[in-house]
């Protein structure tokens, strides 16, 4: 996605060979015009499928997932990382390790929001090692729902998560796939 790649090149900040900071438009401040384009692009890429739910994980996946849900007319469900007084019973749960924060969280989704009748696309901001996607896949599988695929805003293609999940048969649509962050420069796969 040309617009996204341009935004990454202009506003992204390479913090190391494995960390890209995009807080000016995705992870802290959100560019709603870009998010609308991202939602439209995911909808176009999955136009061959019937999607009944969009699933993401809090918090940075919520904006792109919401714009996709708006475009599709499908509800958006986000897995919660923190315990809630109102979310205690009848939950699907899974453990997810965060590469960026170096911590493991138990994520949860209410069983009333994903059922065996659903066709689910999973949306997330980044794909590196694939841990968040694995946790969300686990939740969809617990529900007995159908996984249509995953939409990733930025994939770190130099890490193994995307490759491993594709080898397991998961359809992954990445809007920007990074080949390298070496020497403080973002290099994309074609």
Q: How confident is the model at residue 161 (pLDDT cuts 50, 70, 90)?
A: very high
Q: Return the pLDDT at 160.
A: 94
Binding residues: 20, 27, 128-132, 156
Cα dihedral 145, 137, 168, 71 sign: positive
List for the chain the helix, strand, coil content (%; round to 5).
30, 35, 35
Binding residues for 5-phospho-alpha-D-ribose 1-diphosphate: 128-132
- Measured at the CA of 22, the angle between CA 100 and CA 124, to 5 degrees, comes to 65
For β-strands 53-57 and 119-127, DSSP reports them as parallel
Expressed in angstroms, the distance from the first to the final Cα of the chain is 10
Nearest to 151 by CA among 128, 168, 133: 133
What's the CATH class of domain 2-188?
Answer: alpha beta
46-64 tens-digit pLDDT:
999 999 999 999 989 999 9
For β-strands 172-180 and 187-188, DSSP reports them as antiparallel
35-48 tens-digit pLDDT:
999 999 999 999 99
Cα dihedral 153, 158, 159, 162 sign: positive
Structure tokens at 58: 């809090």
101-142 tens-digit pLDDT:
788 989 999 999 999 999 999 999 999 999 999 999 999 999
Binding residues for xanthine: 20, 27, 156
């Amino acid at each position: 996605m040309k617009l996204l790649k341009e935004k990454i090149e202009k506003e992204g900040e390479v913090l190391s060979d494995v960390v890209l900071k995009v807080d000016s438009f995705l992870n802290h401040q959100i560019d709603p015009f870009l998010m609308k384009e991202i939602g439209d692009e995911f909808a176009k890429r999955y136009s061959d499928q019937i999607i009944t739910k969009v699933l993401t994980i809090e918090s940075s996946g919520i904006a792109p997932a919401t714009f996709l849900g708006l475009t599709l007319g499908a509800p958006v469900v986000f897995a919660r990382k923190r315990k809630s007084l109102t979310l205690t019973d009848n939950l699907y749960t899974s453990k997810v390790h965060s590469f960026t924060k170096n911590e493991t969280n138990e994520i949860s989704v209410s069983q009333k929001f994903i059922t065996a009748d659903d066709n689910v696309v999973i949306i997330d901001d980044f794909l590196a090692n694939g841990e968040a996607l694995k946790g969300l896949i686990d939740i969809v599988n617990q529900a007995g729902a159908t996984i249509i695929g995953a939409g990733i805003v930025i994939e770190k293609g130099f890490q193994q998560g995307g490759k491993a999940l594709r080898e397991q048969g998961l359809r992954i649509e990445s809007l920007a796939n990074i080949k390298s962050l070496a020497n403080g420069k973002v290099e994309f796969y074609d």
